[in-house]
Structure 1
Amino acid sequence: MFHLNIKNSPVGSVLRFGVVVVLLSTVVAGCEPITMGGKPQLSNPQPTPSTSGQTQAHNSHVASAGVGPQGGYDRTPLPQPPSLPSLDDLIGRIPQATSQSDGTAGAGEPPIIPMARGLRVAILLPLSGTNQRVGSAMLNAAQMALFEFAGSGFEVLVHDTQGTPEGAREAARLAIADGARMIIGPLLSTSVRAVSDQAIAAGVPVVAFSSDRTVAEPGVYTMGFFPSDEVKRVVEYARSKGAERFALLAPRGANGEAVSKALNASVWAAGGFVVQSEFYDPQLSDFSEPVKRIAHYDERRAALLQQRASLEAHGDEVSLLALKRLENLQTLGEVPFDALLLADGGKRLIAVAAMLPYYDIDPKKVKILGTGQWDAAGLGAEPALVGGWYAAPDPTVRKIFSDKYLAAYGIRPHRLATLAYDATALAVVLGAQNTPQPYSPDMLAQAGGFAGRDGIFRFSPSGIAERGLAVLQVQGKTARVIDPAPKAFP
């Protein structure tokens, strides 16, 4: 059974036995230990103004969590690839206590692993500000991982970054001062950069959630989903199915540039060719011009009109038959590519895709490819996207996580919640190993990697996460896996 013990000190409150430690910026007095039961709950933190007029970097709030008969979730490990050092498999190394009918520890209780006792890890999340909803979901997921994996003596210090670099920097300072051996988070790339220098100087590794690979460096790891992995996976699959000539249609900006770079590298490595790339202003509401350009519509339309005029001029029977065959065509000739990568998501993706048939790019002849931004429900509502391929984590294991989250909290998790779950589980598992440096580069950057809720992943020594992804095909209402994710890294 889990207990929340609130210390009457300005430093904070401590939720022990594998649950969350929540730091408070004000004194919490007169609180008794709370026995957990029912669904996990988290009170939403509110900013606490300081007397100096500046907002405190850490807000007063109390988390409570537990496993109970009403709507709780079980501790059954989710299925993982047996060939990997899966996070679920490693949980067996953390002793679990047995209980007598009177509630006391059983005589057969194994000893706690010495290195796990008193181990502290900090998690930095935007629990207020514009990304509060995301931060709260990620904290919920972290608590789930602690319930399922952590033994006694493991503590997680929770700090609110307020979604700002300044808040993240102060959160990291306090976490390091409180003895955190590793920092999980923050979420945004600007916040990661704000904490990196002091964390590296203190020898405290950072496992962040940003999808900006430029924030990674030795000692700073990031678990985000990178376009390079997604593009490489779907390009290799398309190449194996015969696609040779690739084109790109992407919004201007950092993400479009990253996808373009990844596409060129992946296609070249796979022995294909990138024949055309077009970029558009993401603020546009009408995407006709960029689609016309990549479709070579004006040239192909002019070729059709010229051919019609020539046939009409001849006027013989053969010419008239040929002219009749051209009646239902918009253009003459094919586009110069076999596969087109649409590097966008949401409403813009739908709007761009809807223009493809209009400008005579036939999805039956040109394979439409996507990135992880396609990993959302409802894409099949646009006919031009049905049958398209994209790379993403295998949804099977993630759905099991999502169902458990729904049972615990009553809502579906944010898409990024699995990152917090996997990072927290990783911290627990590595922290339980009998080594004086559980979060050393050798431990974090194991070549075999780990199996998480988004499939297998591993960190490179430079701090960038590599993931094993599946290839999915857009269906009418959902997407189905057409090439499974790998179960182990080569």
Structure 2
Amino acid sequence: MFAVLPSARKVLQVLTLPIIALALAACDAVPGGGPSINTGAAVPVALLVPGGSGQTTDEILAQSLENAARLAMRDLNGATIDLRVYQTGGDANTAAAVAKQAVEEGAKIILGPVYAASANAVGNAVSGQNINVLSFSNNASIAGGNVYVLGPTFQNTADRIVGYATSQGKQRFVVVYGQDSAGTAGRDAISTAVQSQGASVVGSVGYALSQQDVIAAVPQIKEAVESNAADAVFMTTDTASALPLLSQLLPESGVSSETSQFMGLTRWDIPSQTLSLPGVQGGWFALPDPSASATFSAQYQSAYGGVPHPIGGLAFDGIAAIGALVSQGQSNALTGAALTQGAGFRGASGIFRLLPNGSNQRGLAIATISEAQVSILSPAPQSFSGLGF
């Protein structure tokens, strides 16, 4: 059963297939920005996907998002959703146009689109019509007003990792970041997280995105660590960029997790070949609740015969939240106040909640790598009452 728990303090039940989506508390929020709905009838929900762009990757993603949304609709605890799918072609102008069309055709909330520019355009296009947008973007800079981002954010990840690190006694951080928009956004998220935990960023080393510049940054990182007695090195890079090189060269220079704990803002277990890199052994990173993620993946494969796209589960999450709120039978179920109820929801990769500023928090596990295997150091929280939430 797709169920809503009556209280944030109620113990969560063990979930078995095919049930993994529920709200963590009843919706008792006061009305905010958003439409009034008739919960006794099917609620029209517009799903905006990047199909129609001509790009194979967009078509695969579009299908996975629709599949995941329909998977979540199988049992909504009495709520009924009328899912209407619109293709954006991955284009911001098209996304804005179909969003307007969807609202004219009766949509009460918009789920999607994927890309930040498109999500921003959609939010602007329907802002005067009292419609909220649950986008699949992870770019918190577009969040706010009637636009919410469902994608995992740098800030949420940084907060979780730094919270764990300080609980293990780490207090002096050196931040290593790529000098592009993602890298600098990651650097800022880490700095904010460190400050909020009462720890210190004692050094910050950036590098241009070239092999030569990464190599040149290694002595600077070593100097920053040693001269400031840093006990943690927090890297923004991912496995497709500088992580393989940094994880090789830093230990060769005398800096490793044995001397100053390595940690990463991105997942170090994807692709699996990364796990065999000597330099990442003992490093820390965050990942979604492994149990919930495995349950969703098994559901999806059973229903559709293939694995979901890495962000396909966000559509499941959106329907999970909408369905759980609508099932309460309140006309204000899709207002901003209802969507941001503090106890949050449970979806494809564990607990999550939307924040009044349009961003989100997700319950993440802390993992490490040992002998090319991932092990969990701190499990994902099962409610927002612990682990610093």
Fold match (TM-score > 0.5):
yes
Picking from 38, 41, 48, the partner of 1:124 is: 48
Picking from 20, 25, 46, the partner of 1:85 is: 25
Contact 2:202 2:228 in 1 (8 A): no
Aligned twin of 1:20 = none
Aligned twin of 1:455 = 350
Consecutive unaligned residues in structure 2, runs of 5 or more? 1-15, 28-36
Distance 1:342-1:152 versus aligned 2 partners, 3 A rule: closer
Aligned twin of 1:252 = 179
**How is 1:208-287 mapped onto 2 (pairs within 5 angstroms)?**
208-284=135-211, 287=214
Picking from 47, 55, 76, the partner of 2:18 is: 76
Contact 1:375 1:392 in 2 (8 A): no
Contact 1:248 1:260 in 2 (8 A): yes
Task: Identify which of structures 1 and 2 has the higher relative contact order when contacts are C-alpha pairs closer than 8 Å and 6+ apart.
Answer: 2
Identity across matched positions, percent: 28
Contact 1:468 1:487 in 2 (8 A): yes
Quote the offset at 1:153 in angstroms.
Answer: 5.0
Quote the offset at 1:404 in angstroms.
Answer: 1.8
Quote the offset at 1:469 in angstroms.
Answer: 1.7
**TM-score for the superposition, normalised by structure 1:** 0.68
Cα separation, 2, equivalents of 1:142 and 1:337? 45
Q: Deviations over 1:221-247 (max 9, x none)?
A: 111111111111111211121212111
The structure whose Rg is larger is 1
**How is 1:131-210 mapped onto 2 (pairs within 5 angstroms)?**
131-149=58-76, 154-210=81-137
Which shifted more, 170-179 or 367-376? 367-376
Distance 1:224-1:404 versus aligned 2 partners, 3 A rule: same
Distance 1:79-1:166 versus aligned 2 partners, 3 A rule: closer
Contact 1:367 1:388 in 2 (8 A): yes
Picking from 247, 250, 265, the partner of 1:356 is: 250
Quote the offset at 1:468 in angstroms.
Answer: 2.1
Q: Deviations over 1:194-226 (max 9, x none)?
A: 111222111111011111111111221111111
Q: Deviations over 1:415-463 (max 9, x none)?
A: 1111111101222222233222220122101011112222221112221
Quote the offset at 1:86 in angstroms.
Answer: 8.9
* Count of residue pairs brought into register by the alignment: 356
Distance 1:339-1:357 versus aligned 2 partners, 3 A rule: same
Quote the offset at 1:75 in angstroms.
Answer: 6.0
One-letter amino acid matched to 1:117: A
Q: Deviations over 1:379-426 (max 9, x none)?
A: 321111011111222111101111221222222212111111110122
One-letter amino acid matched to 1:439: L
Picking from 281, 290, 307, the partner of 1:386 is: 281
Q: Deviations over 1:241-284 (max 9, x none)?
A: 12121111111122212222122222222222211111122244
One-letter amino acid matched to 1:78: I
Distance 1:116-1:254 versus aligned 2 partners, 3 A rule: farther
Contact 2:17 2:295 in 1 (8 A): no
Aligned twin of 2:266 = 372
Cα separation, 1, equivalents of 2:221 and 2:377? 28
Cα separation, 2, equivalents of 1:291 and 1:214? 31
One-letter amino acid matched to 1:347: A
**TM-score for the superposition, normalised by structure 2:** 0.85
Contact 1:165 1:191 in 2 (8 A): yes
Distance 1:395-1:226 versus aligned 2 partners, 3 A rule: same
Contact 2:296 2:349 in 1 (8 A): no
Contact 2:20 2:347 in 1 (8 A): no
Q: Deviations over 1:304-362 (max 9, x none)?
A: xxxxxxxxxxxxxxxxxxxxxxxxxxxxx787311101111123222221111222213
Aligned twin of 1:108 = none
Which shifted more, 184-193 or 375-384? 375-384
Contact 1:249 1:343 in 2 (8 A): yes
- CA RMSD of the aligned region, Å? 2.5
One-letter amino acid matched to 1:214: S
Picking from 472, 479, 485, the partner of 2:374 is: 479
